[in-house]
Homo-oligomer: A and B are copies of this chain.
Amino acid sequence: MSLLVTGSIGIDTVESPFGRVVDTLGGSSIYFAYAASFFSPVRLVGVVGEDCPADFLAPLHANERIDMGGLEIRRGSKTFRWHGRYHQDVNIRDTVGVELNVLAERGPTIPESFRDSRYVFLANTHPALQIELLGQLRRPALVVADTMDLWIQTERETLMKLIDRLDGLVLNDGEAKMLTGESNVVAAGLELGTRVRNFIVIKKGEHGALLFTGRNVFALPSYPTFCVVDPTGAGDSFAGAMMGYLASQDNTDAATLRRAMAYGTVTASIGIEGFSLQKFFTASRDAIDRRMGEFEEMITLTR
């Protein structure tokens, strides 16, 4: 089933206890699309500036499961840049620098040929733009969005309008608490669960994720990894693999959602073992399935 992602494309610089990479591939739509491609063909919509090196997106163009037909190279604009530094405890990160550049201009346009997409992920951006993008779609089956603390604080009303039109919302625990005013993440998830048509996923980073479908709760630990080189994009990779699996099954019932979250967890756990998307370039659906088998064994109560 057709899967579409709209989101950022970034030139990232990342420092972690394991090293430093400069001007490397990043951005939410990039992590999402590559992770999704292990499960399903995926259509990418995003904008770069004319400063973007010609071969910068080569790994995505080379991936035959990623349709780059929604890539806009905007004249006179500059590509989004992000520079982050992870601490010895890689769960702590400082933002060294951000240049919004093209992200601060008008948003992308979904090409005509993509507007029939059935599964849609609106990665984090201004909620007014997310609503506008949603309006460009013809008849999506499942629309899921991500957001961030900035929009919760500055654009709450617009964000709530978006949420009321969504099938699913993916956000992290701090954002869920901020959005609802609840100090308990389960209470926050249950409250948000009443506003969307299908599900809420609350990501807790190294502590796993929670799924709320109405009053029903699913709790999933993270994959217990001891080699975290670069956590950048882990949330987008999680969402990408999750949505890719849902699209591949063309099913969003509770059991499929649970399995999709587990695939999201496992795929993201591979990505963070290297800088940028490096680990994805050598990964395969087989490798993901092997780790999925290990993960199931690690979280199963009786055996």
Contact = CB atoms under 8 A, between A and B. Distances in A.
Interface bin, chain A: 35 or more
Given A219-B222, A219-B224, A221-B219, A302 B255 contact: yes
Interface string A283-303: 000000000000010111111
B219 A255 contact: no
A89 B183 contact: yes
Among A89, A190, A301, find the residue whose CB has the most chain B CB atoms closer than 10 A: A301
Interface of A: 88-90, 183-187, 190, 204, 206-208, 210, 217-222, 224-226, 228, 254-255, 258-259, 262, 296, 298-303
A219 B298 contact: yes
22 contacts: A89-B183, A184-B228, A186-B226, A204-B207, A207-B207, A207-B208, A208-B219, A208-B221, A210-B221, A210-B224, A217-B224, A219-B222, A220-B299, A254-B303, A255-B302, A255-B303, A258-B300, A258-B302, A258-B303, A259-B301, A259-B302, A300-B301
Number of copies of this kind of chain in the complex: 2
A298 B218 contact: yes
Contacts of A204: 207
Contacts of A89: 183
Among A190, A219, A303, find the residue whose CB has the most chain B CB atoms closer than 10 A: A219
A104 B279 CA distance: 53
A301 B262 CA distance: 8
A242 to B, nearest CB: 14
Contacts of A221: 208, 210, 219-221
Nearest to A302: B255
B301 A299 contact: yes
A207 B259 CA distance: 20
Which 5 A-B pairs have CB atoms at the shortest separation, nearest pair first?
A: A219-B221, A207-B207, A187-B226, A186-B226, A89-B183
Given A224-B217, A224-B219, A258 B301 contact: yes
Contacts of A222: 219
A258 B302 CA distance: 8
B224 A186 contact: yes
Contacts of A208: 207-208, 219, 221
A206 B219 CA distance: 11
A217 B222 CA distance: 12
Contacts of A262: 301
A183 B90 contact: yes
Among A184, A222, A254, find the residue whose CB has the most chain B CB atoms closer than 10 A: A184
A225 B258 CA distance: 19
